[in-house]
Structures are given as C-alpha cells and as structure tokens.
C-alpha cells in the first residue's frame, strides 16, 4: 500500500515509462496514471486525486508552467514536481511554489528526495470545514482536525477545540483532503500529521493514538499496513 499517489504528465511515452519504472522503486509511492495531453491534466486530477504531479514543461498546447497555474486553483491541489530536459524554467517553476525541479535524465535517489518534499509540504492553512453551531456558522481549520468519524447520517469532526458535526460524507471529505488524511477504517479518517501510534484495546482491536486528542478510532485489518508504513516513515525521519 502507498501513502503518496503520483500522476505522470509527459507527452513522450519513453520518458513517461521511465518515470513509471523509477516510481516502482520508491517506498510508499505509486503511479496513479499517465497523462500525455496537457489539456487533460486538470480533468484527470479531479478524477484521480493525486498527491503529486510529475510535470513536464515543454508539451504541445499548454506548457507545464501554464498547467501548474491551473492546478493551484483546485480545492485540493496536488504538489508539483517539474521534470524536464531544460533548466531555464526553474525560476518560473519555483515562483509557482513547485516542490522541486528535476532535469532529465532523472536519477532514482534525486526523485526520492523530491517525493519526500512533496510528502512533507505544509497543509494549506486556509482550508476549512464549515459547520453550524446553534445560530452561527463555525469554520474549522483543516490543520486543526485530528480525525473524521462517520456516525449515522453525519461525520463527527474531532479537532483541537472539541467536536462538531458536518453533513459531508466521509467519502467526499476523503476526496477533498486526500493529502491530509488517511483512511484507517470504513468509518474513520485520521490526520497524517497527528498520527502518533497504535495500540490494542481490551477486546484486541487495533486503535490509533492521535496527538492532542482523546479520540482513538479503530483500524481495520485491510488498512493496518498503511498506518504502520506512515508511522515507520515518521520514526525514520521520512514523514
């Protein structure tokens, strides 16, 4: 299982195939697709929800710089790593807050460092969840949320100041904030940044420990490996 999904964007098939092979050697990373037409990148990002886009610069039609500008407008914008044969676009790339700029041919270790930067990039502090509390509307910063737990027709938001209910389904929240949260159970998402450990309760159920929260959602058997990978990566300084 992976905790980082990468979309490859390159109009040259040999280059795209090479990147796909390099991704296979990276820990906890998977390719979620290849796009060879620049004008289809936004559409595919909305469908596939990648965490990071490996983006060529010089392509027919829209170039990679223009595509990156469009990607920034997405609600859950992926990280962008430019992968190109040309060095002269680096200034433009970093003005667009690109995570990294790789010059072809890309080495596996260099790609690994770039992906690590993508994994560790800060969460957008402007992102919020809105809920009603009595007569007023409350906006909860996503950076303060520890867990999202489905209960009946609502989702319970566990955040630094307590709990709140939202109408959004767990599936829709997972799609909107795929980079910030991981699914640990069919009824629970937890924030990567606050995940601190695993323990077994008295019934033998695996549960997570979350920094700053008394909420300990259960972990399903199918999601246990991913939780351990995220925790192992943090212990070794990888996340």
Residue 25 and residue 44 in one domain: yes
Mean pLDDT, the chain, whole residue set = 89
Over residues 123-130, the mean pLDDT reads 75
Residue 141 and residue 201 in one domain: yes
State the residue range of the domain holding 151.
Answer: 128-235
Residue 103 and residue 142 in one domain: no
Over residues 81-104, the mean pLDDT reads 87
**Residue 109 has what pLDDT?**
95
* CATH code of the domain covering residue 178: 2.40.50.1020
Identify which of 34, 102, 30, 94 has the alpha carbon closest to the alpha carbon of residue 68. 94
* CATH code of the domain covering residue 64: 3.40.50.2300
Cis-peptide into 12, omega within 30 deg = no
Q: How far apart are the first and last CA of the chain?
A: 16
Q: Inform me whether the pLDDT recorded for 185 exceeds 90.
A: yes
Residue with tokens 């007023």, as numbered in its chain: 136
For residue 170, what are the contacts with CB-CB under 8 A and spacing of at least 6? 148, 150, 155, 187, 188, 189
Q: Inform me whether the pLDDT recorded for 86 exceeds 80.
A: yes
CA 77/CA 52 separation, integer angstroms: 9
Domain final residue pick, 66, 88, 120: 120
């Amino acid at each position: 299982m992976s905790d980082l999904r990468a979309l490859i964007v390159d109009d040259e098939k040999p280059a795209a195939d090479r990147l796909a092979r390099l991704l296979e050697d990276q820990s906890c990373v998977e390719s979620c697709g290849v796009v060879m037409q620049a004008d289809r990148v936004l559409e595919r990002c909305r469908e596939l929800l990648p965490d990071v886009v490996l983006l060529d610069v010089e392509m027919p039609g829209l170039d990679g710089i223009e595509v990156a500008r469009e990607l920034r407008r997405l609600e859950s914008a992926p990280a962008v790593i430019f992968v190109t044969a040309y060095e002269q676009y680096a200034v433009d790339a970093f003005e667009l807050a690109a995570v990294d700029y790789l010059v072809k041919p890309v080495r596996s270790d260099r790609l690994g460092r770039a992906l690590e930067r993508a994994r560790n990039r800060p969460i957008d502090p402007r992102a919020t969840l809105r809920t009603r509390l009595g007569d007023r509307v409350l906006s909860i910063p996503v950076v303060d949320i520890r867990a999202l737990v489905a209960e009946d027709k609502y989702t319970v938001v566990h955040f630094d100041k307590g709990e709140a209910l939202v109408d959004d389904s767990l599936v829709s929240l997972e799609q909107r904030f795929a980079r910030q949260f991981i699914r640990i159970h069919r009824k629970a998402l937890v924030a990567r940044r606050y995940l601190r450990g695993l323990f077994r309760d008295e019934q033998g159920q695996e549960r997570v420990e979350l920094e700053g929260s008394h909420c300990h959602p259960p972990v399903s058997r199918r999601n246990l490996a991913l939780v351990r990978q995220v925790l192992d990566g943090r212990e070794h300084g990888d996340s």
